[in-house]
Amino acid sequence: MSPQNAQTDHTAAISTRGVTRDFPAGQDVITVLHGIDLDIRAGELTFLVGESGSGKTTLISIMCGILWPTEGEVQVFGTDIYDLTDTALVEFRLANIGFIFQQYNLIPSIDAAANAAVPLIARGMAVEEARAQATEMLDALNIADQADKLPSQLSGGQQQRVAIARALVHEPRLVVCDEPTAALDAKSGRRVMDLLREVAVAEDRACIIVTHDNRIFDMADRILVLEDGRITHDGKDMPEEH
Amino acid sequence: MIWIAIRMLTGDRTKFYGLLFGIAFSTLLITQQLTIFVNLIERGASGVYNVAEAEVWVMDPVSRTTDIAYAMPTTALDRVRGVPGVEWAVPHLRANAAVRTDTGDLEQVAIIGVDDATLIGLPKGMVEGSRAVLSRPDSVIIDDVGTTRMFPDQPTPVGEVLELNDQRAVIRGMADSIPSFTSTVVLYTRYSQALRYVPGTRNRLSFVLAGAADGVAAAELARRIEAQTGLRARTRDEFAGDGVDFIIENTGIPFNFGITVVLGFIVGVAIVGLTFSLFIRDNIRQFGALKAIGVTNGKIVRMVAAQAGMVGAVGYALGLLGTVAFIWVFGSDPTFKGFYIPWQIPLMSLVAVALILAITGFFALRNVLRTEPAAVFR
């Protein structure tokens, strides 16, 4: 681990202060987030929960530096990411954030190892070296034997593991996971969550999962409930009314 | 990332082949049509190119090309020979005649009368027979256009007897010449013989062909001849250019070929643009994901540029190969005899392909760059 990645236990990995986000809607402006103040700690599996339209996708996009807030500031591991230049922000994401998308968004024409190696290749590593490193990650996820297969030749679960490998291969300090269990049955969903806890949660790494799947709420270390653009609950368990 | 870009492109085979087809078809259309155009208009100078020895062509001031010539009195030959710097000067006759074959077919032919003594005016190469056969009575040498047109089913025209303006002519050889613009059948004979085949007007000397003495440039010699004789004198290159210019100025060929070339460009833009935009649209989520992961816009631009570059290089090569194959396949047909691809044409096609890819790539890239990385969470 590089010194840059060093992280003290339970310090704030992500810190948002007064984050507001407006979207134009014709002549009007809709405020989706209302002054969010939030600290996300490393070493925890943090769930961001809310109904559709509650603003959780907007909040997660702002926290990982792919959507500018209208107001407020966001610090990721001490860096005010929206003070960075565009290029610096992109490079910050590449160095520090791993993404697991709901639809995986694997590149269909390259094999599993190459897909998992994308962040390394984007950082300038030679393709073969990156593939070898990615294959080690696939091995940790028990699908090294599928490394040479195209995404279309893999099952949904295998594709998800490739997406997880892609998110972790460059050892990011923040892992963002969007609805990882939405398309899975309860048993498969819990298996994926076990896997994420095993590989994505670390003392020096923050892991945020955006979900509204109540079948897995018991697996969270911390649950944040977002309603109408405001945090309405912050605790280990879901409130009764949900 | 270039490796990933190329894999993304080649992985979608339908669109990859569609893009290759678009570029290859455009290149083929542009290169092939420009090649035919250039070679066709150069046929306007074939009469000059076929006479390798002549450095200066002397003619009546109103004559314009080898095919549009006003005959001069025979004294013109002596006047040219009297100009300082003229090493040699010979008569050259070009006229039209009707020929009837022994099977009764009628054909309009061009008669070219070459110098009796030196045979200057006759193409250097022979497909069959030798140049010396012209010394025999009633001899003519036919070109390969004539052979194909008048004797398509015969292995050789040599020995065939023609009725040429009511006079006997015997084919005794086949010349290796560049066909004329109109692919007219050409019969070569001695100047004295040609005068008998083409009776009529008092003046029948079409051109005087001249060679420069050592140390005298052709252009200087032409200037001297014009100054001293009042005739029109053109160097070989100038007169070849006159033939080409005449076709450009007096036919619709440049316009019509130009339309085809423009259509080739438009078809290329349409096919490549449509396919490229479909390719980008199908991969927009992947591009969005790459942007979210941390691939800079600069790298995305290089990825799309690499994809366009690969399509361009392969498609262009295929199109060029297609043109070469076309020339090779049809090269045996006298109509396309001697056709070649001037180096400027592939360069022009390359510029056209680069333009097509720049235009289509720009619009495709615009969509990618406009894609917000946050869209991958929606």
Q: What is the C-alpha separation between B277 and B292, in angstroms, rounded?
A: 21
State the pLDDT at residue A11.
Answer: 62
Q: Touching check for A84 and chain B: CB below 8 Å?
A: no
Question: Mutating which of B287, B377, B378 best tests the A interface, going by the most A Cβ atoms within 10 A?
Answer: B377
CB contact under 8 A, B372 and A67: yes
Q: Compute the count of residue pairs across chains A and B with CB atoms less than 8 Å apart.
A: 88
Residue B124 and residue B104 in contact, taking contact as beta carbons nearer than 8 Å? no
CB contact under 8 A, A102 and B377: yes
CB contact under 8 A, B3 and A121: yes
Residue B189 and residue B134 in contact, taking contact as beta carbons nearer than 8 Å? yes
> What is the mean pLDDT of the segment spanning A92-106?
88
Q: Model confidence over A181-194: pLDDT tens digits?
A: 776 777 777 877 88
Give the count of beta carbons closer than 10 Å to the beta carbon of residue A142: 11
Give the count of beta carbons closer than 10 Å to the beta carbon of residue A171: 16
DSSP B72: B
Partner-chain residue, chosen from A57, A86, A94, that has the shortest CB–CB distance to B293: A94
CB contact under 8 A, B288 and A105: yes
Tokens (6 digits) for B275: 């396919």
CB contact under 8 A, B7 and A114: yes
Determine the distance in angstroms separating the CA of B297 from the nearest CA of chain A, rounded to an integer. 8
Q: Touching check for B8 and chain A: CB below 8 Å?
A: yes
* Residue B248 DSSP SS3: helix
CA within 13 Å, CB half, B157: 29
CB contact under 8 A, B372 and A66: yes
Residue B327 and residue B40 in contact, taking contact as beta carbons nearer than 8 Å? no
What is the band of A7 on the pLDDT scale with cuts at 50, 70, 90?
very low
Position B278: which residue type? Answer: L
Tokens (6 digits) for B130: 């030798």
Partner-chain residue, chosen from A66, A87, A105, that has the shortest CB–CB distance to B296: A87
Q: Which residues of A touch B286 (CB under 8 A)?
A: 105-108
CB contact under 8 A, B293 and A91: no
Architecture of the domain made up of A44-54+83-235: 3-Layer(aba) Sandwich (3.40)
Q: Model confidence over B48-105: pLDDT tens digits?
A: 999 989 999 999 999 999 988 999 998 999 999 999 999 999 999 999 888 876 677 7
Determine the distance in angstroms separating the CA of A100 from the nearest CA of chain B, rounded to an integer. 10
Partner-chain residue, chosen from A86, A105, A109, that has the shortest CB–CB distance to B11: A109
Partner-chain residue, chosen from A57, A66, A178, that has the shortest CB–CB distance to B373: A66
CB contact under 8 A, A90 and B294: yes
CB contact under 8 A, B292 and A66: yes
Partner-chain residue, chosen from A61, A97, A110, that has the shortest CB–CB distance to B4: A110
If phi > 0 it is left, if psi is from -120 to 50 it is alpha, else beta; for residue B143 that is beta
Partner-chain residue, chosen from A92, A109, A121, that has the shortest CB–CB distance to B8: A109
Residue B309 and residue B272 in contact, taking contact as beta carbons nearer than 8 Å? no
Q: What is the C-alpha separation between A142 and B76, in angstroms, rounded?
A: 98
Partner-chain residue, chosen from A95, A101, A127, that has the shortest CB–CB distance to B289: A101
Q: Which residues of A touch B12 (CB under 8 A)?
A: 108-109
CB contact under 8 A, B285 and A105: yes
- Which 3-state string (H, E, C) describes chain A? CCHHHCCCCCCEEEEEEEEEEEEEECCEEEEEEEEEEEEEECCCEEEEECCCCCCHHHHHHHHCCCCCCCEEEEEECCEEHHHCCHHHHHHHHHHHEEEECCCCCCCCCCCHHHHHCHHHHHCCCCHHHHHHHHHHHHHHCCCHHHCCCCHHHCCHHHHHHHHHHHHHCCCCCEEEEECCCCCCCHHHHHHHHHHHHHHHCECCEEEEEEECCCCCHHHCCEEEEEECCEEEEEECCCCCCC
CB contact under 8 A, B289 and A99: yes
Considering only residues B39 and A11, tell me which one the structure prediction assigns the higher pLDDT: B39
At how many degrees (to 10) do helices B253-282 and B297-330 cross? 140
Partner-chain residue, chosen from B10, B286, B372, that has the shortest CB–CB distance to A105: B286
| Burial classification of residue A159, based on how many CB atoms lie within 10 Å of its CB (0-12 exposed, 13-18 middle, 19 or more buried) | buried
State the pLDDT at residue A155.
Answer: 86
State the pLDDT at residue A241.
Answer: 65
Residue A161 and residue A143 in contact, taking contact as beta carbons nearer than 8 Å? yes
Q: Model confidence over A38-47: pLDDT tens digits?
A: 998 888 889 9
Q: Touching check for A87 and chain B: CB below 8 Å?
A: yes
Which B residues, 267 through 306, put their C-beta within 8 Å of a C-beta on chain A? 283, 285-286, 288-299
CB contact under 8 A, B292 and A119: no
Q: Which residues of A touch B293 (CB under 8 A)?
A: 93-94, 99, 118-119, 122, 166
Position A31: which residue type? Answer: T
Q: pLDDT digit of tens for each residue in chain B (378 aa)?
A: 889 999 988 988 888 998 899 899 889 988 988 898 888 888 889 999 999 899 999 999 999 999 889 999 989 999 999 999 999 999 999 998 888 766 777 888 999 999 999 999 999 889 998 989 999 989 999 998 888 888 888 888 898 888 888 888 999 999 998 888 888 899 999 999 999 888 777 788 999 999 999 999 999 999 999 999 999 999 999 999 999 999 999 888 889 888 988 888 888 888 888 888 888 888 888 888 888 888 888 888 899 889 989 999 999 999 999 999 988 888 777 778 778 888 999 999 899 888 888 888 888 888 888 887 777 776
CB contact under 8 A, A121 and B1: yes
Comparing alpha-carbon positions, the chain A residue that sits nearest to B283 is A107
Q: Touching check for B13 and chain A: CB below 8 Å?
A: no
What is the arrangement of strands in the sheet containing A206-211, beginning at the earlier edge strand?
A: A97-100, A174-178, A206-211, A45-49, A222-227, A230-235
Q: What is the C-alpha separation between A232 and A226, in angstroms, rounded?
A: 6
Position B201: which residue type? Answer: T
CB contact under 8 A, B7 and A95: no
Q: Touching check for A131 and chain B: CB below 8 Å?
A: no
What is the band of A142 on the pLDDT scale with cuts at 50, 70, 90?
confident
Helix (H) / strand (E) containing B162: strand B161-164
pTM over 0.90: no
State the pLDDT at residue A242.
Answer: 58
pLDDT at A5 over 70: no
State the residue for tokens 């009297």. B82
Q: Touching check for A26 and chain B: CB below 8 Å?
A: no
> What is the mean pLDDT of the segment spanning A234-239?
80
What is the band of A120 on the pLDDT scale with cuts at 50, 70, 90?
very high
